[in-house]
């Protein structure tokens, strides 16, 4: 009798492959992607050599593809603006605690159309991975408050 187990990613029951006795994720593409992502995140956390190698490989790749990205940015203004906006967010995050950021939000400053990085308040300052990039187009704005 074949034993089934529950996939760590989707929670569905699956039968482990014969040649992978310790399989913990089902064979679906999404769950295999999740498995690799978890493996890599864990590696990055526990293995400083792996972390250094990854950083070096990425830097090398960027160095070898700098003209590609320069041309891509020149041809895709929306992408360029999104990057600038995200960099501004990172810069702001660097110089403000999350509480200071809340104060920034409360300033009576008009919200301009543009790209914004949207993340859960609890995730601010933790990781960029859970952030959405959204484009907000202002269709109408409230009148300026009386001073
Ligand atoms: Zn699964």
Instruction: Please state the domain extents for the chain.
Output: 1-46, 77-147
Per-residue pLDDT, averaged over 5-14, amounts to: 94
| Confidence bin at 65 (pLDDT 50/70/90) | confident
pLDDT at 98 over 80: no
Per-residue pLDDT, averaged over 112-135, amounts to: 70
**pLDDT winner (highest mean) among 33-42, 61-70, 87-96:** 33-42
Q: What's the gap in Å between 58 CA and the centre of ligand 1?
A: 30
Q: What's the gap in Å between 137 CA and the centre of ligand 1?
A: 38
| Confidence bin at 53 (pLDDT 50/70/90) | very high
| Confidence bin at 27 (pLDDT 50/70/90) | very high
Percentage of the chain lying above the pLDDT 70 cut: 78
Per-residue pLDDT, averaged over 6-30, amounts to: 94
Contacts of 77 (CB under 8 A, 6+ apart): none
Report, at the CATH architecture level, how domain 1-46 is classified: 2-Layer Sandwich (3.30)
Q: What's the gap in Å between 54 CA and the centre of ligand 1?
A: 27
Q: What's the gap in Å between 41 CA and the centre of ligand 1?
A: 18
pLDDT at 9 over 90: yes
Q: What's the gap in Å between 29 CA and the centre of ligand 1?
A: 8
Nearest to 128, CA basis, from 78, 79, 103, 94: 94
Residue 30 is predicted with a pLDDT of: 96
Q: Is 139 exposed, middle or buried, given 0-12, 13-18 or 19+ CB atoms closer than 10 A?
A: exposed
Residue 114: its H or E element: strand 114-118
Q: What's the gap in Å between 36 CA and the centre of ligand 1?
A: 13
Classify 6 as helix, strand or coil: strand
Residue 49 is predicted with a pLDDT of: 92
Q: What's the gap in Å between 66 CA and the centre of ligand 1?
A: 38
Per-residue pLDDT, averaged over 103-131, amounts to: 65
Q: What's the gap in Å between 109 CA and the centre of ligand 1?
A: 46
């Amino acid at each position: 009798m074949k034993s089934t187990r529950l996939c760590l990613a989707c929670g569905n029951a699956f039968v482990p492959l014969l040649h992978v006795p310790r399989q913990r994720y089902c064979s679906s593409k999404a769950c295999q992607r999740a498995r690799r992502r978890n493996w890599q995140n864990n590696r990055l956390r526990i293995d400083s050599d792996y972390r250094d190698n990854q950083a070096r490989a990425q830097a090398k790749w960027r160095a070898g593809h700098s003209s590609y990205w320069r041309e891509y940015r020149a041809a895709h203004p929306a992408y360029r603006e999104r990057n600038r906006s995200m960099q501004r967010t990172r810069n702001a995050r660097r110089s403000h605690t999350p509480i200071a950021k809340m104060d920034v939000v409360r300033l009576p400053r008009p919200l301009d159309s543009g790209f914004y990085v949207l993340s859960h308040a609890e995730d601010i300052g933790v990781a960029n991975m859970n952030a959405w990039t959204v484009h907000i187009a202002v269709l109408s704005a409230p009148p300026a408050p009386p001073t």
